[in-house]
Amino acid sequence: METEGRLTRLASCAGCGAKVGAGTLVRLLEGFQTRGDPRLIVGYDRSDDACVYQINEHTALVQTTDFFPPIVDDPYLFGQIAAANALSDVYAMGGEPRLALNILCLTDQMDQKTVQEILRGGYAKAYEAGAVIAGGHTIQGAEPIYGLAVTGFVHPDRVLTNAAARPGDALILTKPLGVGILTTAAKADLVEQPVLERLYAQMAALNKTARDIMVRYPVHSCTDVTGFALLGHSYEMAQGSGCSIHLEAAKIPYHPEAYELAEMGFIPAGAYRNREYAGAEVKVGPAVTRALEDICYDPQTSGGLLMALPEGAAEDCLARLRETIPQAAVVGRVTERQAAAIYLD
């Protein structure tokens, strides 16, 4: 096998932008019946980041899987980003990842060195997370794909879900938005290298530090902001919690270059799927520009954590986060359910 050209050009879509739309998933699973288990604390019916199964009174198992086509051309970096993205689901549940399995699809255009570098990147990121990659499964296909199936652990009483936000909570987001827009424009060589390097470092960064700080505070609910974008994941949190979420546009962190590109129309297809899914329940204020609205629908790859916690604890939590994650920000609040699920003002 020989690699020809850029890795991203072997795939028709990239990163979490390849994710099937949330609305499509809802339709596919509608009426689908499965066996229940009283030890299954969180299952697929909750639209959460991972499933959680209680082993005993002190330990619950957190399990998830995530994989996607290349979002960067460097194979080692692709492995890092894909692994960080998969590990993030365990962090979003308040858990610690411990075991992982590779998921890999090869094409005829990929040489041995490329494949080994992808795997090496994944192993490096799993090692950083304190997890062991113990094996996996590889197939041949039309497009390259890499990711992990991850197992972690959490105390049953400390499981965080995306469906437990409470009125009066503040919302903290730990990574800036705009990943999908920038990576779409990068395919056309419209993003300068320093911006790409900043973006790549963000996507490869684990949410471990954010998780380790988060669990020291009375966080009620958490999710990671990935393929369904800030508005899609906020919508799931609002629906699951029976509340409304108010996002303050001026406080939402994003890459300024993404705003300029959004104004030019470089919007990934996933953003339109996210708008179709959540748009009917999103009320946008008159001062919010279309470009910023598009950024909030932009699918993120290896995005940050969105956590809901009492307003009185948010300031101290944010201060701790900003010691190592300077772009973390309070982006909104949770209220009693109102006419819409999400307000973007």
Q: What is the DSSP letter of 281?
A: G
Whether residue 25 has pLDDT greater than 60 = no
The angle subtended at Cα 199 by Cα 197 and Cα 204, nearest 5°, is: 95
* Threshold 0.75, pTM exceeds: yes
CA–CA separation, 73 and 86 (whole Å)? 19
Boundary of a domain, candidates 158, 182, 213: 158
Is residue 247 in a domain?
yes
Catalytic residue among 16, 105, 222, 296: 16
Q: Do 196 and 334 fall within a single domain?
A: yes
> Which region, left, alpha or beta, applies to residue 168 given φ > 0 means left and ψ of -120 to 50 means alpha?
left
* Per-residue pLDDT, 10: 65
* Per-residue pLDDT, 187: 86
* Per-residue pLDDT, 36: 76
Q: Do 235 and 292 fall within a single domain?
A: yes
Q: Do 316 and 179 fall within a single domain?
A: yes
CA–CA separation, 230 and 210 (whole Å)? 17
Q: Do 12 and 119 fall within a single domain?
A: yes
CA 75 remoteness from chain centre: 20
**219 band by pLDDT with thresholds 50, 70 and 90:** very high
Is residue 38 in a domain?
yes
CA 36 remoteness from chain centre: 27
**46 band by pLDDT with thresholds 50, 70 and 90:** low
Q: Do 107 and 219 fall within a single domain?
A: no
Q: State the average pLDDT over residues 127-148.
A: 96
158 or 23, higher pLDDT: 158
CA–CA separation, 124 and 72 (whole Å)? 17
Whether residue 125 has pLDDT greater than 90 = yes
Is residue 107 in a domain?
yes
Tokens of 294: 């598009």
Q: How many helices (H) and strands (E) does the chain have?
A: 11, 13
State the total domains in the chain.
2
Q: Do 83 and 207 fall within a single domain?
A: no
Q: Do 229 and 81 fall within a single domain?
A: no
Q: Are 342 and 278 spatial neighbours (Cβ–Cβ below 8 Å)?
A: yes
Boundary of a domain, candidates 120, 135, 158: 158
Residue whose structure tokens are 């998933």: 25
Is 51 a catalytic site residue? no
Is residue 1 in a domain?
no
* Per-residue pLDDT, 29: 59
Whether residue 188 has pLDDT greater than 60 = yes
* Per-residue pLDDT, 4: 42
Q: Do 207 and 289 fall within a single domain?
A: yes
CA–CA separation, 303 and 84 (whole Å)? 9
Is residue 2 in a domain?
no
Whether residue 193 has pLDDT greater than 70 = yes
Q: Do 298 and 194 fall within a single domain?
A: yes
The angle subtended at Cα 273 by Cα 269 and Cα 279, nearest 5°, is: 130
Q: Do 243 and 134 fall within a single domain?
A: no
Q: Are 159 and 222 spatial neighbours (Cβ–Cβ below 8 Å)?
A: no
Is residue 12 in a domain?
yes
Stated as kind and residue range, the H or E segment containing 101 is strand 96-106
User: At 121, which CATH number?
Assistant: 3.30.1330.10
274 is in which domain, residue-wise? Answer: 169-344
> Which region, left, alpha or beta, applies to residue 36 given φ > 0 means left and ψ of -120 to 50 means alpha?
beta
Q: State the average pLDDT over residues 38-49.
A: 83
Q: State the average pLDDT over residues 297-302.
A: 97
Boundary of a domain, candidates 103, 124, 158: 158
Q: Do 201 and 335 fall within a single domain?
A: yes
**48 band by pLDDT with thresholds 50, 70 and 90:** confident
Q: Do 138 and 245 fall within a single domain?
A: no
Indicate if the alpha-carbon torsion angle 47, 95, 67, 37 is positive or negative: negative
Q: State the average pLDDT over residues 13-23.
A: 54
Whether residue 31 has pLDDT greater than 80 = no
Quote the strand ranges of the chain, DSSP E.
Answer: 40-42, 51-54, 60-68, 96-106, 132-140, 145-154, 169-173, 221-224, 243-247, 282-284, 305-310, 329-336, 342-344
